[in-house]
Each structure stands twice: as C-alpha cells, then as structure tokens.
Amino acid sequence: MKKILVPVDFSEHSGYALDVASQIAKKHEAGIVILHMLGLSESVMAKSEMEERQEAKYYLDLTKDKIREFTNKESLKDIPLEAIIQNYKDFSEVNYVAEEQNCDLIVIGSHGTSGFSEIFAGSNAEKVVRTSSIPVLVIKKPHEDFQIKKMVFACDLKPENIPAYHKAVAFAQLFSASIEIVFVNTSGANYMGFSDVEHKIRDFNKELGEEAPIKIYNYHSVEKGIFNFCLEHGADLLAIPTHGKRGIAHFFKGSRAEDVANHAKLPVLTIKL
C-alpha cells in the first residue's frame, strides 16, 4: 500500500477516518491524500468574473486554514501528506481523484448511529462506495489502536466474487489477519438443502483454485445473518463486494437490514466487483 485517500468535511467522523488512515499509513509507510470538496453554490459561480474570483479565493483560503488545523495532529507527523481542494458537488468524483493520485484505498467516515443507513441508502459515503473502483474502508467510530485480527468476507459464492475475495485476502495479509467467507442460507423459498450448498461451495472453490475457509450461516435474512455471524465470531472487519453503480442492494435492503446495520460497530470494507 502506497497511498490512501481520505475525503474530509471537517466533521468528527471524517476525523475518525483520518486517524485510522494515519495508523494504516504508518504501519505500511504509505502517504495520505486529503480531499475536501468546496461545492460552491451556483450563486457564487454566477457572479461577475472578478466577484467570482474574490469569493472563490475567500472560500479557498478558509478551507486551507481548516485543513491546516484539521491535520495538526501528532498522529500525522512523519507521514507524507497532500491536500487537494476541489469544487466538486458530486461525491462520485472522489473516484477520479483516487485514480489520478494512484491511491490504493479510500478511508471515509460515516455519521453517528445512523451510519449504515446513510452509507447504504443515499449518503455521500454511499455514493463513494457505489462509484469507487478501489476498496473503500468505512469508519463509524474512533479507533485508538486500529487492529484487524479477524475478517469476514460475505458473499453469495458466485464466481464473480472471486476477484473481490482476492483483494480482501490481500487486505487481510496487510494486518496478518485471518479471513473466512460467510454464505447466509436464508429460510423460506430461498432455502438451500445441504447437498445444494455443498455443490455451491465446490464450484466456488474450483473456480478459486483452492479450498477457501467457507462458513454457512442459516438465518431468515441475509442482512441480519451477516451481522450476527460477525458478532458471534468476533470479526474486526466485514468485507463485502459491490456491483458499482448498482450499489450493494443485493446484500443490504429493507428496514430490518438498516436496523441491524445501524447498531453495527465494526468497520466495513467494500470492494467493487
């Protein structure tokens, strides 16, 4: 890992993300790129050229001061640090910056106890998750010592998930963490019998070319099953594949899922398929 992108809005939650990014950067001798989006209003941009320049300069200088204050932390000392200020309004453009800067990871904060419902239901963080071509680590709370000893990769065991699994394994190796796959077998019409599940596992491992550690968890919904499994097995991080602009609605949908996710404490790593 060489470079980490951290979008910030100067909130406490983007501060949590920056703290985690700094810990990862120190462990792996990586640099950090801070991105702030001004999002100047149309009223500013519609003024005369001179007025527009003056007002834009005012906001730019103000932002630079905020960034200096926001990054004045002991934890960031000795870490190569770069700040980028853009007038983007669309958070999907975070991915363009990440690609231009050759970043390996995006670390972003999510707000409060409603964090997961915001991440997966229309928030700025969710937009970053949906459109990012590189892994996104979502942080909800402060981590004084960011340690990952056990990771869970949740998927439906379709071969299309294998590239994302490889990336999750690589991330786990950065922390010398163990990783296992969980497949949630739901009750009702979608329930799969033992032989069908075994066949699904064999096909996945055949495509993978190795015997992956796969656990089957029976539950009435995929969403609750994933989070319950993580809780019961003491997972430090949940990794999930995303279909890009289709988001991760395949895994997270419905009010019950949001209710469970809102109370989840563990970080989430999303990986685009």
Residue-level pLDDT at 50: 61
Q: Report H helices in the chain.
A: 12-28, 42-45, 49-70, 94-100, 115-119, 124-131, 162-174, 194-208, 222-232, 255-262
SS3 content of the chain, % helix, strand, coil (to 5): 45, 20, 35
- Give the pLDDT of residue 243: 76
Q: Exposed, middle or buried: residue 262 (CB in 10 Å: 0-12, 13-18, 19+)?
A: middle
Fold entry, domain 1-146: Rossmann fold (3.40.50)
- Mean pLDDT, rounded, for 124-138: 83
User: Which pLDDT does position 123 carry in this prediction?
Assistant: 61
Q: Which residues contact residue 144 at a Cβ distance below 8 angstroms, ignoring those fewer than 6 apart?
A: none
Q: Taking 60 as the threshold, does the pLDDT of residue 159 lie above it?
A: yes
CA-wise closest residue to 239 among 173, 141, 190: 173
pLDDT number for residue 79: 95
Q: What is the pLDDT of residues 31-88, one digit of tens each?
A: 999 998 876 445 444 555 666 566 667 777 888 888 999 999 988 999 999 999 887 6
Predicted pLDDT of residue 113: 46
Does domain 147-273 bear CATH number 3.40.50.620?
A: yes
- Report which of residues 128 and 260 the model is more confident about: 128
CATH 3.40.50.620 domain locations along the chain: 1-146, 147-273
First to last CA, the chain: 20
Tens digit of pLDDT for each residue in 98-129?
A: 999 999 999 998 874 444 444 443 367 777 88
Better-scored residue on pLDDT, 94 or 55:
94
